Structure 1
Amino acid sequence: MNQRVHSILGFVFLVGVIILAILILQTAPNLSSISSLNSPIPTATTQWDPLKSPIPTSVEPFDPEKFVMAGVAEAFPSVDGTQPEILLRRKITAAEFPQLGLGQPHWNSEPPMELFLLKGNFDTTKFGLSNKAGLTAVKYIVLVIDLTTRSATYTGLSKNGEDIKTLLSLVTPEPQPTQVTR
């Protein structure tokens, strides 16, 4: 059991690093545009004119859904090429982890977090840890995102949903159209 816990923690760390790398690459400035700048680089002898080259005052806001979808597409590509479906997206607290079947969190503070439950046909063969556990394809992925650090704090894989029944019970089914008979 202890080796399994270490494997799972290592896997979660690896997925978090990959998702962070993807986020950094997506938000990095386009380096090819630097050569097209016509203004000199400000130095001690050059005055910087904010009217000609203003400092950006806004940063693109963090979009957890975009972050999750990009990370999952990279780490767990779709076996059949279809887009994963977000079944559940909600705020979550550390106290809810055990109640939802996610185990006991192991941290001292509680950042704002958001839980995502995705359904799809995910390939897990990119990572040796999932192969050692006997998982090569899964139907569900559970991710909990730390909204402060913008990283995954929990990643769970479920082959068929049996081990995440509590989470699946929270999914609100799509309303079915009703037929009026006269």
Structure 2
Amino acid sequence: MLLTVAIIGAPHGLKGEVRLDLRTDDPARRLAVGNVLETEPADAGPLTVTRTRRAADATYVIFEEARDRTAAESLRGVRLVVESDEDEGDEDEGWYPHQLVGLRVVHVDGRELGTVADLEHLPAQDVLVVTEPDGAEARVPFVAELVPEVDTDAGTITLDPPRGLFAADPVEDEPDDAGSGRAEGRA
């Protein structure tokens, strides 16, 4: 399976440099000088990295095959892809959507919460998109406090979400302990 490393954006300057929309958690390895990357569509590549730099929270690259602005413009929207490594996706490296989509999502208490529909890579953190049994979608920050276990062999992800995150577990159903045992008014 092919994984997207980055999507080529707008040219930057006149010498073929392009801005990348990164989709990898290891850009230093994937975009190292000399690396040859396959592309989607395939006829746009392969592309050889000749320079990579970071500036103002952006990554810029020059490819051997696109040495001027016109050639760089023709690459806009092209995906840089690599073949999936089976070893990728352990807890230290992160997860790819194809490894999680379709897994059953269960609450720590055993209740079925739904199925993973997607994994969104956002700037702050990854977010699991879960389709609930009624068709509603819930977005769960992919952090250890809320996602204590991912078991791809068993086909499950265990969540410990706060009340209200899922439609089937609304906050309004929470018991009202604050008023119990107190007098309503005083004379």
Instruction: Place the TM-score, normalised by the shorter chain, in its bin.
Output: under 0.3
Structure having the higher strand fraction is 2
TM-score normalised by L of structure 2 = 0.24
Looking at both structures, which has the greater relative contact order when contacts are Cα pairs under 8 Å and sequence separation is at least 6? 1
Structure having the higher helix fraction is 1
TM-score normalised by L of structure 1 = 0.24
